[in-house]
Structure 1
Amino acid sequence: MSADEIPDELWRKILEIGVKSSTFSYKDLCCISISSRRLCRLSCDDSLWLLLLFHDFPSHIDSSSSSSQSPTKFIYRTRFEREKERKVAAHRRALLRKESVVSELGRRIRELETRLSEEAERFQGASMEFSNLQRIRQASVALNVWQPEVVRGRQKQMVEQNAVPVAGRLRALEMEMKLCKQQIMGVNRSLREVKKRFDIAGKEVESMTYHPLRDYKLIRSGDQVSNAKRKKLKTSINFPAKNPARPSKKIKLLHSESE
Protein backbone atom coordinates (compact mmCIF):
# COMPACT_ATOMS: atom_id res chain seq x y z
CA MET A 1 0.00 0.00 0.00
CA SER A 2 1.37 3.40 -0.99
CA ALA A 3 1.14 6.56 1.08
CA ASP A 4 -1.61 7.94 -1.21
CA GLU A 5 -3.80 4.92 -0.47
CA ILE A 6 -3.76 5.53 3.30
CA PRO A 7 -7.02 7.22 4.32
CA ASP A 8 -7.09 10.62 6.00
CA GLU A 9 -8.42 9.16 9.25
CA LEU A 10 -5.35 6.93 9.57
CA TRP A 11 -2.97 9.82 8.81
CA ARG A 12 -4.72 11.95 11.43
CA LYS A 13 -4.34 9.14 13.96
CA ILE A 14 -0.64 8.76 13.15
CA LEU A 15 -0.04 12.48 13.55
CA GLU A 16 -2.10 12.60 16.75
CA ILE A 17 -0.17 9.69 18.28
CA GLY A 18 3.12 11.32 17.30
CA VAL A 19 2.18 14.62 18.94
CA LYS A 20 0.74 12.99 22.09
CA SER A 21 3.85 10.83 22.57
CA SER A 22 6.10 13.89 22.04
CA THR A 23 7.63 12.19 19.00
CA PHE A 24 6.49 15.00 16.72
CA SER A 25 7.41 18.58 17.51
CA TYR A 26 6.29 21.75 15.78
CA LYS A 27 9.31 21.42 13.48
CA ASP A 28 8.23 17.93 12.45
CA LEU A 29 4.71 19.12 11.63
CA CYS A 30 6.12 21.99 9.58
CA CYS A 31 8.39 19.57 7.68
CA ILE A 32 5.47 17.22 7.07
CA SER A 33 3.32 20.08 5.79
CA ILE A 34 5.73 20.84 2.92
CA SER A 35 5.94 17.21 1.73
CA SER A 36 2.56 17.20 -0.04
CA ARG A 37 -0.66 19.17 -0.28
CA ARG A 38 -2.58 16.45 1.48
CA LEU A 39 -0.22 16.28 4.44
CA CYS A 40 -0.12 20.08 4.53
CA ARG A 41 -3.86 20.11 5.00
CA LEU A 42 -3.79 17.33 7.62
CA SER A 43 -0.86 18.75 9.59
CA CYS A 44 -2.58 22.14 9.93
CA ASP A 45 -5.46 20.59 11.86
CA ASP A 46 -6.34 22.66 14.94
CA SER A 47 -6.53 19.62 17.22
CA LEU A 48 -2.85 18.79 16.58
CA TRP A 49 -1.66 22.32 17.25
CA LEU A 50 -3.88 22.53 20.31
CA LEU A 51 -2.13 19.45 21.70
CA LEU A 52 1.24 21.08 20.99
CA LEU A 53 0.04 24.29 22.61
CA PHE A 54 -0.96 22.48 25.79
CA HIS A 55 2.30 20.48 25.77
CA ASP A 56 4.82 23.28 25.04
CA PHE A 57 3.10 26.23 26.73
CA PRO A 58 0.91 24.88 29.54
CA SER A 59 1.32 28.04 31.62
CA HIS A 60 0.16 30.27 28.76
CA ILE A 61 -3.13 28.53 28.15
CA ASP A 62 -6.12 30.66 29.05
CA SER A 63 -9.78 30.85 28.19
CA SER A 64 -9.23 33.64 25.67
CA SER A 65 -6.91 31.48 23.55
CA SER A 66 -9.30 28.53 23.56
CA SER A 67 -12.27 30.72 22.58
CA SER A 68 -10.32 32.73 20.00
CA GLN A 69 -11.35 32.61 16.38
CA SER A 70 -7.74 32.54 15.17
CA PRO A 71 -6.28 29.23 14.00
CA THR A 72 -4.49 27.32 16.73
CA LYS A 73 -1.33 27.20 14.61
CA PHE A 74 -1.27 31.01 14.56
CA ILE A 75 -1.77 31.11 18.35
CA TYR A 76 1.08 28.62 18.77
CA ARG A 77 3.37 30.72 16.57
CA THR A 78 2.51 33.84 18.58
CA ARG A 79 3.26 32.05 21.86
CA PHE A 80 6.47 30.65 20.39
CA GLU A 81 7.70 34.09 19.31
CA ARG A 82 6.94 35.55 22.73
CA GLU A 83 8.70 32.69 24.48
CA LYS A 84 11.68 33.06 22.15
CA GLU A 85 11.93 36.79 22.93
CA ARG A 86 11.74 36.00 26.65
CA LYS A 87 14.50 33.40 26.43
CA VAL A 88 16.71 35.66 24.32
CA ALA A 89 16.30 38.44 26.90
CA ALA A 90 16.98 35.98 29.73
CA HIS A 91 20.10 34.76 27.91
CA ARG A 92 21.28 38.34 27.47
CA ARG A 93 20.75 39.08 31.17
CA ALA A 94 22.53 35.87 32.22
CA LEU A 95 25.43 36.68 29.91
CA LEU A 96 25.70 40.22 31.31
CA ARG A 97 25.64 38.87 34.87
CA LYS A 98 28.37 36.36 34.10
CA GLU A 99 30.46 39.01 32.33
CA SER A 100 30.09 41.29 35.37
CA VAL A 101 31.32 38.40 37.53
CA VAL A 102 34.34 37.98 35.24
CA SER A 103 35.01 41.73 35.40
CA GLU A 104 34.77 41.76 39.21
CA LEU A 105 37.12 38.77 39.47
CA GLY A 106 39.58 40.49 37.15
CA ARG A 107 39.47 43.61 39.33
CA ARG A 108 40.05 41.42 42.39
CA ILE A 109 43.04 39.75 40.71
CA ARG A 110 44.62 43.13 39.92
CA GLU A 111 44.00 44.26 43.49
CA LEU A 112 45.64 41.14 44.93
CA GLU A 113 48.60 41.43 42.55
CA THR A 114 49.13 45.06 43.64
CA ARG A 115 48.95 44.04 47.28
CA LEU A 116 51.37 41.18 46.65
CA SER A 117 53.84 43.57 45.00
CA GLU A 118 53.58 45.98 47.94
CA GLU A 119 54.17 43.21 50.48
CA ALA A 120 57.17 41.94 48.47
CA GLU A 121 58.69 45.44 48.38
CA ARG A 122 58.04 45.83 52.10
CA PHE A 123 59.74 42.50 52.80
CA GLN A 124 62.70 43.40 50.60
CA GLY A 125 63.16 46.76 52.37
CA ALA A 126 62.96 45.16 55.81
CA SER A 127 65.41 42.46 54.72
CA MET A 128 67.94 45.03 53.46
CA GLU A 129 67.67 47.08 56.65
CA PHE A 130 68.04 43.89 58.70
CA SER A 131 71.24 43.00 56.84
CA ASN A 132 72.67 46.53 57.34
CA LEU A 133 71.93 46.46 61.09
CA GLN A 134 73.54 43.04 61.38
CA ARG A 135 76.71 44.45 59.80
CA ILE A 136 76.61 47.40 62.22
CA ARG A 137 76.23 45.05 65.19
CA GLN A 138 79.17 42.96 63.96
CA ALA A 139 81.24 46.14 63.54
CA SER A 140 80.43 47.29 67.10
CA VAL A 141 81.52 43.90 68.45
CA ALA A 142 84.69 43.99 66.34
CA LEU A 143 85.73 47.35 67.92
CA ASN A 144 86.49 45.50 71.16
CA VAL A 145 89.32 43.52 69.57
CA TRP A 146 92.52 44.65 67.86
CA GLN A 147 92.24 45.45 64.14
CA PRO A 148 94.23 47.43 61.62
CA GLU A 149 93.58 51.16 61.91
CA VAL A 150 92.03 51.40 58.44
CA VAL A 151 89.49 48.65 59.15
CA ARG A 152 88.86 49.93 62.67
CA GLY A 153 88.21 53.51 61.43
CA ARG A 154 85.71 52.29 58.83
CA GLN A 155 83.81 50.17 61.37
CA LYS A 156 83.83 53.00 63.93
CA GLN A 157 82.40 55.40 61.36
CA MET A 158 79.65 52.87 60.51
CA VAL A 159 78.70 52.49 64.17
CA GLU A 160 78.72 56.26 64.85
CA GLN A 161 76.49 57.02 61.86
CA ASN A 162 73.79 54.69 63.15
CA ALA A 163 71.34 56.48 65.49
CA VAL A 164 68.94 53.53 65.95
CA PRO A 165 69.23 51.03 68.82
CA VAL A 166 70.40 47.95 66.99
CA ALA A 167 69.04 45.16 69.23
CA GLY A 168 65.49 46.52 69.47
CA ARG A 169 65.32 47.38 65.77
CA LEU A 170 66.52 43.92 64.76
CA ARG A 171 63.75 42.29 66.80
CA ALA A 172 61.18 44.61 65.22
CA LEU A 173 62.47 43.83 61.73
CA GLU A 174 62.34 40.08 62.43
CA MET A 175 58.66 40.41 63.41
CA GLU A 176 57.96 42.59 60.37
CA MET A 177 59.58 40.10 57.97
CA LYS A 178 57.68 37.24 59.57
CA LEU A 179 54.42 39.16 59.18
CA CYS A 180 55.27 39.98 55.55
CA LYS A 181 55.87 36.29 54.81
CA GLN A 182 52.49 35.38 56.30
CA GLN A 183 50.79 38.14 54.32
CA ILE A 184 52.48 37.03 51.08
CA MET A 185 51.42 33.41 51.66
CA GLY A 186 47.81 34.46 52.33
CA VAL A 187 47.66 36.77 49.30
CA ASN A 188 49.15 34.05 47.06
CA ARG A 189 46.55 31.57 48.28
CA SER A 190 43.70 34.03 47.66
CA LEU A 191 45.16 34.90 44.25
CA ARG A 192 45.21 31.26 43.18
CA GLU A 193 41.59 30.77 44.24
CA VAL A 194 40.40 33.93 42.48
CA LYS A 195 42.30 33.04 39.30
CA LYS A 196 40.72 29.59 39.33
CA ARG A 197 37.25 31.13 39.65
CA PHE A 198 38.14 33.63 36.93
CA ASP A 199 39.14 30.85 34.50
CA ILE A 200 35.94 28.89 35.25
CA ALA A 201 33.76 31.98 34.77
CA GLY A 202 35.57 32.84 31.53
CA LYS A 203 34.95 29.35 30.14
CA GLU A 204 31.28 29.62 31.15
CA VAL A 205 30.97 32.91 29.25
CA GLU A 206 32.52 31.32 26.16
CA SER A 207 30.11 28.36 26.36
CA MET A 208 26.98 30.48 26.92
CA THR A 209 25.65 30.31 23.39
CA TYR A 210 21.93 30.81 22.99
CA HIS A 211 19.76 27.70 22.83
CA PRO A 212 15.96 27.90 22.58
CA LEU A 213 15.38 24.96 24.95
CA ARG A 214 17.68 26.18 27.72
CA ASP A 215 16.39 28.17 30.67
CA TYR A 216 19.03 30.71 31.66
CA LYS A 217 19.17 31.27 35.39
CA LEU A 218 21.95 32.66 37.57
CA ILE A 219 23.69 29.65 39.13
CA ARG A 220 27.09 30.25 40.61
CA SER A 221 29.89 27.82 39.93
CA GLY A 222 30.58 27.46 43.62
CA ASP A 223 26.93 26.54 44.23
CA GLN A 224 27.10 23.88 41.53
CA VAL A 225 30.21 22.37 43.07
CA SER A 226 28.76 22.44 46.58
CA ASN A 227 25.47 20.93 45.37
CA ALA A 228 27.36 18.15 43.60
CA LYS A 229 29.42 17.42 46.72
CA ARG A 230 26.28 17.48 48.90
CA LYS A 231 24.45 15.14 46.52
CA LYS A 232 27.42 12.75 46.43
CA LEU A 233 27.65 12.74 50.22
CA LYS A 234 23.91 12.14 50.55
CA THR A 235 24.07 9.27 48.06
CA SER A 236 26.96 7.64 49.91
CA ILE A 237 25.05 7.92 53.21
CA ASN A 238 21.70 6.68 51.93
CA PHE A 239 23.07 3.90 49.73
CA PRO A 240 26.18 2.39 51.37
CA ALA A 241 28.29 0.06 49.35
CA LYS A 242 27.39 -3.59 49.81
CA ASN A 243 29.85 -6.41 49.92
CA PRO A 244 28.64 -9.02 47.41
CA ALA A 245 30.83 -11.67 48.99
CA ARG A 246 28.93 -11.58 52.31
CA PRO A 247 25.34 -12.87 52.24
CA SER A 248 22.75 -10.75 54.03
CA LYS A 249 21.04 -11.78 57.26
CA LYS A 250 17.78 -12.31 55.40
CA ILE A 251 19.39 -14.83 53.03
CA LYS A 252 21.01 -16.65 55.97
CA LEU A 253 17.64 -16.82 57.74
CA LEU A 254 15.95 -18.28 54.64
CA HIS A 255 18.66 -20.93 54.33
CA SER A 256 18.29 -21.90 57.99
CA GLU A 257 14.49 -22.18 57.65
CA SER A 258 14.79 -24.33 54.56
CA GLU A 259 17.14 -26.69 56.35
Structure 2
Amino acid sequence: MSALPDEMWRTVMDIGIETKSLQYRDLCSLSISCRRLRRLASEDSLWSFLLLTDFSLSADDLKRENGSISSSIQSGKFKSLYKIRYEKDREKNRLARRRVVLRMESEVAERLRKIRDLELQSSEEKEKLNMVVAELRNLRKARQASVAMNVWQPEVIRGKQKEMIQQSNVPVEFRINALEMEISLCKQQIAGFDKALRLEKRRLHEAEEQLASVKYHPLEYFRNASFQTMERIVRSKKFQHTSNIKED
Protein backbone atom coordinates (compact mmCIF):
# COMPACT_ATOMS: atom_id res chain seq x y z
CA MET A 1 0.00 0.00 0.00
CA SER A 2 2.82 2.40 0.81
CA ALA A 3 4.25 1.88 -2.71
CA LEU A 4 1.25 3.60 -4.32
CA PRO A 5 1.30 7.42 -4.35
CA ASP A 6 -1.59 9.48 -3.00
CA GLU A 7 -2.66 10.43 -6.54
CA MET A 8 -3.20 6.76 -7.38
CA TRP A 9 -5.33 6.21 -4.28
CA ARG A 10 -7.35 9.34 -5.08
CA THR A 11 -7.97 8.09 -8.61
CA VAL A 12 -9.09 4.68 -7.31
CA MET A 13 -11.46 6.26 -4.81
CA ASP A 14 -12.84 8.73 -7.38
CA ILE A 15 -13.57 5.92 -9.82
CA GLY A 16 -15.16 3.85 -7.06
CA ILE A 17 -17.41 6.73 -5.99
CA GLU A 18 -18.39 7.69 -9.54
CA THR A 19 -19.24 4.08 -10.48
CA LYS A 20 -20.95 3.59 -7.10
CA SER A 21 -18.61 0.70 -6.28
CA LEU A 22 -17.73 2.58 -3.11
CA GLN A 23 -20.34 3.92 -0.71
CA TYR A 24 -20.09 6.02 2.42
CA ARG A 25 -19.70 2.84 4.50
CA ASP A 26 -16.64 1.87 2.44
CA LEU A 27 -15.03 5.28 2.94
CA CYS A 28 -15.67 5.05 6.67
CA SER A 29 -14.09 1.58 6.73
CA LEU A 30 -11.05 2.89 4.87
CA SER A 31 -10.79 5.76 7.35
CA ILE A 32 -10.21 3.44 10.31
CA SER A 33 -7.58 1.31 8.56
CA CYS A 34 -4.67 3.76 8.75
CA ARG A 35 -3.89 7.47 9.03
CA ARG A 36 -3.02 7.85 5.38
CA LEU A 37 -6.29 6.38 4.12
CA ARG A 38 -8.17 8.31 6.78
CA ARG A 39 -6.80 11.54 5.33
CA LEU A 40 -7.48 10.52 1.74
CA ALA A 41 -10.95 9.11 2.44
CA SER A 42 -11.99 12.38 4.13
CA GLU A 43 -11.29 14.62 1.15
CA ASP A 44 -14.10 16.95 0.10
CA SER A 45 -14.15 15.85 -3.54
CA LEU A 46 -15.38 12.38 -2.53
CA TRP A 47 -17.98 13.47 0.01
CA SER A 48 -19.32 16.34 -2.09
CA PHE A 49 -20.10 13.86 -4.88
CA LEU A 50 -21.78 11.53 -2.36
CA LEU A 51 -23.84 14.44 -1.06
CA LEU A 52 -25.08 15.24 -4.55
CA THR A 53 -25.93 11.64 -5.48
CA ASP A 54 -27.12 10.01 -2.22
CA PHE A 55 -29.45 12.86 -1.23
CA SER A 56 -30.34 14.12 -4.75
CA LEU A 57 -29.04 17.60 -3.99
CA SER A 58 -28.49 20.31 -6.58
CA ALA A 59 -25.48 22.59 -6.69
CA ASP A 60 -27.48 25.38 -5.00
CA ASP A 61 -28.58 23.00 -2.24
CA LEU A 62 -24.97 22.01 -1.74
CA LYS A 63 -23.95 25.66 -1.38
CA ARG A 64 -26.68 26.25 1.20
CA GLU A 65 -25.61 23.12 3.11
CA ASN A 66 -22.01 24.33 2.96
CA GLY A 67 -23.00 27.72 4.39
CA SER A 68 -24.89 26.11 7.29
CA ILE A 69 -21.77 24.49 8.75
CA SER A 70 -19.28 26.28 10.96
CA SER A 71 -16.57 28.09 9.03
CA SER A 72 -14.00 26.88 11.56
CA ILE A 73 -14.15 23.41 9.96
CA GLN A 74 -11.77 23.47 7.00
CA SER A 75 -10.83 19.94 5.96
CA GLY A 76 -13.52 17.28 5.89
CA LYS A 77 -16.38 19.79 5.90
CA PHE A 78 -18.32 17.87 3.26
CA LYS A 79 -17.95 14.71 5.29
CA SER A 80 -19.43 16.60 8.24
CA LEU A 81 -22.24 17.84 5.98
CA TYR A 82 -22.89 14.28 4.85
CA LYS A 83 -23.05 13.14 8.47
CA ILE A 84 -25.54 15.90 9.36
CA ARG A 85 -27.75 15.12 6.37
CA TYR A 86 -27.51 11.38 7.02
CA GLU A 87 -28.59 11.80 10.65
CA LYS A 88 -31.51 14.01 9.58
CA ASP A 89 -32.66 11.46 7.05
CA ARG A 90 -32.20 8.62 9.50
CA GLU A 91 -34.36 10.40 12.08
CA LYS A 92 -36.98 11.17 9.42
CA ASN A 93 -37.01 7.52 8.34
CA ARG A 94 -37.26 6.41 11.97
CA LEU A 95 -40.28 8.65 12.55
CA ALA A 96 -41.88 7.48 9.29
CA ARG A 97 -41.33 3.86 10.33
CA ARG A 98 -42.82 4.63 13.74
CA ARG A 99 -45.91 6.14 12.10
CA VAL A 100 -46.32 3.02 9.96
CA VAL A 101 -46.01 0.82 13.06
CA LEU A 102 -48.64 2.88 14.92
CA ARG A 103 -50.97 2.74 11.93
CA MET A 104 -50.57 -1.04 11.66
CA GLU A 105 -51.11 -1.47 15.41
CA SER A 106 -54.27 0.62 15.16
CA GLU A 107 -55.49 -1.55 12.28
CA VAL A 108 -54.81 -4.75 14.25
CA ALA A 109 -56.70 -3.35 17.26
CA GLU A 110 -59.62 -2.39 15.02
CA ARG A 111 -59.70 -5.89 13.50
CA LEU A 112 -59.74 -7.43 16.96
CA ARG A 113 -62.60 -5.16 18.00
CA LYS A 114 -64.64 -6.14 14.94
CA ILE A 115 -63.98 -9.82 15.61
CA ARG A 116 -65.17 -9.46 19.21
CA ASP A 117 -68.33 -7.64 18.05
CA LEU A 118 -69.08 -10.29 15.44
CA GLU A 119 -68.52 -13.11 17.93
CA LEU A 120 -70.87 -11.40 20.40
CA GLN A 121 -73.56 -10.88 17.75
CA SER A 122 -73.19 -14.47 16.56
CA SER A 123 -73.46 -15.75 20.14
CA GLU A 124 -76.62 -13.69 20.74
CA GLU A 125 -78.15 -14.92 17.49
CA LYS A 126 -77.39 -18.55 18.37
CA GLU A 127 -78.97 -18.07 21.80
CA LYS A 128 -82.05 -16.58 20.14
CA LEU A 129 -82.15 -19.55 17.75
CA ASN A 130 -82.05 -22.01 20.63
CA MET A 131 -84.96 -20.20 22.34
CA VAL A 132 -87.01 -20.20 19.14
CA VAL A 133 -86.30 -23.90 18.55
CA ALA A 134 -87.38 -24.69 22.12
CA GLU A 135 -90.60 -22.71 21.71
CA LEU A 136 -91.31 -24.41 18.39
CA ARG A 137 -90.80 -27.80 19.97
CA ASN A 138 -93.29 -26.95 22.72
CA LEU A 139 -95.85 -25.68 20.23
CA ARG A 140 -95.58 -28.82 18.19
CA LYS A 141 -96.20 -30.81 21.34
CA ALA A 142 -99.25 -28.62 22.00
CA ARG A 143 -100.54 -29.28 18.50
CA GLN A 144 -100.07 -32.99 19.00
CA ALA A 145 -101.89 -32.66 22.32
CA SER A 146 -104.86 -30.90 20.68
CA VAL A 147 -105.15 -33.72 18.16
CA ALA A 148 -104.91 -36.31 20.90
CA MET A 149 -107.85 -34.72 22.75
CA ASN A 150 -110.18 -36.56 20.40
CA VAL A 151 -108.66 -39.90 21.43
CA TRP A 152 -109.42 -41.65 24.73
CA GLN A 153 -106.68 -40.95 27.27
CA PRO A 154 -106.48 -40.95 31.05
CA GLU A 155 -107.87 -37.84 32.73
CA VAL A 156 -104.44 -36.77 34.14
CA ILE A 157 -102.79 -36.71 30.73
CA ARG A 158 -105.78 -34.93 29.19
CA GLY A 159 -105.52 -32.22 31.87
CA LYS A 160 -101.84 -31.58 31.08
CA GLN A 161 -102.66 -31.33 27.37
CA LYS A 162 -105.35 -28.75 28.11
CA GLU A 163 -102.82 -26.65 30.08
CA MET A 164 -100.35 -26.75 27.17
CA ILE A 165 -103.06 -25.62 24.74
CA GLN A 166 -104.30 -22.86 27.03
CA GLN A 167 -100.75 -21.41 27.38
CA SER A 168 -100.78 -20.53 23.68
CA ASN A 169 -102.50 -17.13 23.20
CA VAL A 170 -102.35 -17.29 19.39
CA PRO A 171 -103.39 -19.98 16.96
CA VAL A 172 -100.84 -22.77 17.08
CA GLU A 173 -100.44 -23.13 13.30
CA PHE A 174 -99.88 -19.40 12.84
CA ARG A 175 -97.25 -19.27 15.57
CA ILE A 176 -95.48 -22.37 14.26
CA ASN A 177 -95.17 -20.83 10.79
CA ALA A 178 -93.81 -17.61 12.31
CA LEU A 179 -91.26 -19.51 14.36
CA GLU A 180 -90.12 -21.55 11.37
CA MET A 181 -89.54 -18.33 9.41
CA GLU A 182 -87.65 -16.86 12.37
CA ILE A 183 -85.47 -19.97 12.59
CA SER A 184 -84.64 -19.62 8.90
CA LEU A 185 -83.73 -15.94 9.39
CA CYS A 186 -81.58 -16.77 12.44
CA LYS A 187 -79.66 -19.38 10.46
CA GLN A 188 -79.05 -16.86 7.66
CA GLN A 189 -77.82 -14.29 10.18
CA ILE A 190 -75.49 -16.82 11.82
CA ALA A 191 -74.12 -17.87 8.41
CA GLY A 192 -73.48 -14.20 7.60
CA PHE A 193 -71.70 -13.63 10.92
CA ASP A 194 -69.56 -16.75 10.38
CA LYS A 195 -68.57 -15.56 6.90
CA ALA A 196 -67.72 -12.09 8.20
CA LEU A 197 -65.70 -13.64 11.04
CA ARG A 198 -63.64 -15.74 8.64
CA LEU A 199 -62.97 -12.66 6.52
CA GLU A 200 -61.98 -10.49 9.51
CA LYS A 201 -59.72 -13.21 10.92
CA ARG A 202 -57.94 -13.51 7.58
CA ARG A 203 -57.50 -9.74 7.43
CA LEU A 204 -56.26 -9.75 11.02
CA HIS A 205 -53.68 -12.42 10.19
CA GLU A 206 -52.46 -10.37 7.20
CA ALA A 207 -52.28 -7.20 9.31
CA GLU A 208 -50.33 -9.00 12.05
CA GLU A 209 -47.87 -10.35 9.49
CA GLN A 210 -47.38 -6.87 8.03
CA LEU A 211 -46.90 -5.43 11.52
CA ALA A 212 -44.30 -8.09 12.36
CA SER A 213 -42.42 -7.36 9.13
CA VAL A 214 -42.47 -3.61 9.82
CA LYS A 215 -41.31 -4.07 13.41
CA TYR A 216 -38.53 -6.48 12.45
CA HIS A 217 -35.05 -4.96 12.46
CA PRO A 218 -32.06 -7.21 11.67
CA LEU A 219 -29.66 -5.52 14.10
CA GLU A 220 -32.17 -5.50 16.96
CA TYR A 221 -33.02 -9.14 16.27
CA PHE A 222 -29.30 -10.00 16.22
CA ARG A 223 -28.70 -8.17 19.50
CA ASN A 224 -31.65 -9.87 21.18
CA ALA A 225 -30.59 -13.27 19.88
CA SER A 226 -27.00 -12.71 21.02
CA PHE A 227 -28.18 -11.62 24.47
CA GLN A 228 -30.39 -14.71 24.81
CA THR A 229 -27.49 -16.92 23.70
CA MET A 230 -25.20 -15.34 26.29
CA GLU A 231 -27.85 -15.87 28.98
CA ARG A 232 -28.10 -19.56 28.08
CA ILE A 233 -24.32 -19.90 28.20
CA VAL A 234 -24.14 -18.20 31.61
CA ARG A 235 -26.94 -20.40 32.99
CA SER A 236 -25.22 -23.49 31.63
CA LYS A 237 -21.92 -22.54 33.25
CA LYS A 238 -23.65 -21.82 36.56
CA PHE A 239 -25.39 -25.20 36.41
CA GLN A 240 -22.09 -26.98 35.66
CA HIS A 241 -20.37 -25.12 38.49
CA THR A 242 -23.16 -26.05 40.92
CA SER A 243 -23.01 -29.67 39.82
CA ASN A 244 -19.25 -29.80 40.34
CA ILE A 245 -19.63 -28.37 43.84
CA LYS A 246 -22.24 -30.97 44.75
CA GLU A 247 -20.06 -33.78 43.44
CA ASP A 248 -17.09 -32.56 45.48
TM-score higher than 0.5: yes
Partner of 1:165: 171
Partner of 2:3: 5
Distance 1:67 1:6, change over 3 A: same
AA in 2 matched with 1:49: W
Give distance in 2, aligned partners of 1:162 and 1:210.
Answer: 65
The answer to whether 1:185 aligns with 2:191 is yes
Say which SS state the counterpart of residue 88 (structure 2) adopts: helix
Partner of 1:100: 106
How many matched pairs?
A: 210
Give the superposition deviation at 1:120: 0.5
Distance 1:202 1:151, change over 3 A: same
The question of whether the paired residues in 2 share the 8 Å contact of 1:88 and 1:210 is answered with: no
Partner of 2:149: 143
Give the superposition deviation at 1:161: 2.9
AA in 1 matched with 2:173: A
More RCO (CA 8 Å, sep 6+)? 1
The question of whether the paired residues in 1 share the 8 Å contact of 2:132 and 2:179 is answered with: yes
The counterpart of 1:73, out of the listed 68, 72, 79, is 79
AA in 1 matched with 2:33: S
AA in 1 matched with 2:125: E
Give distance in 2, aligned partners of 1:56 and 1:211.
Answer: 22
Partner of 1:218: none
Question: TM-score normalized by structure 1?
Answer: 0.76
Give distance in 2, aligned partners of 1:144 and 1:19.
Answer: 106
Partner of 1:46: 44
Distance 1:141 1:99, change over 3 A: same
Structure 1: gaps (5+ residues): 213-259
The question of whether the paired residues in 1 share the 8 Å contact of 2:51 and 2:57 is answered with: no
Structure with the largest fraction of helix: 2
Distance 1:146 1:210, change over 3 A: closer
Distance 1:208 1:60, change over 3 A: farther
Structure 2: gaps (5+ residues): 219-248
AA in 1 matched with 2:144: Q
Give distance in 1, aligned partners of 2:189 and 2:58.
Answer: 57
Give distance in 2, aligned partners of 1:157 and 1:123.
Answer: 25
The question of whether the paired residues in 2 share the 8 Å contact of 1:91 and 1:210 is answered with: no
AA in 1 matched with 2:196: S
Distance 1:166 1:198, change over 3 A: same
Give distance in 2, aligned partners of 1:160 and 1:74.
Answer: 95
Give the superposition deviation at 1:203: 2.0
The question of whether the paired residues in 2 share the 8 Å contact of 1:99 and 1:205 is answered with: yes
Give the superposition deviation at 1:67: 5.8
Give distance in 2, aligned partners of 1:67 and 1:81.
Answer: 18
* Deviation larger for 140-149 or 129-138: 140-149
* Deviation larger for 179-188 or 7-16: 7-16
Give the superposition deviation at 1:84: 0.7
Partner of 2:94: 88
Give distance in 1, aligned partners of 2:186 and 2:122.
Answer: 10
The answer to whether 1:154 aligns with 2:160 is yes
Give the 5 Å matches for 1:8-19. 8-19=6-17
AA in 1 matched with 2:65: S
Distance 1:127 1:120, change over 3 A: same
Q: Deviations over 1:177-206 (max 9, x none)?
A: 100100000111001111111112112222
Give the 5 Å matches for 1:107-122. 107-122=113-128
C-alpha RMSD of the superposition:
1.9
Give distance in 2, aligned partners of 1:146 and 1:186.
Answer: 48
Tell me the percent identity: 47
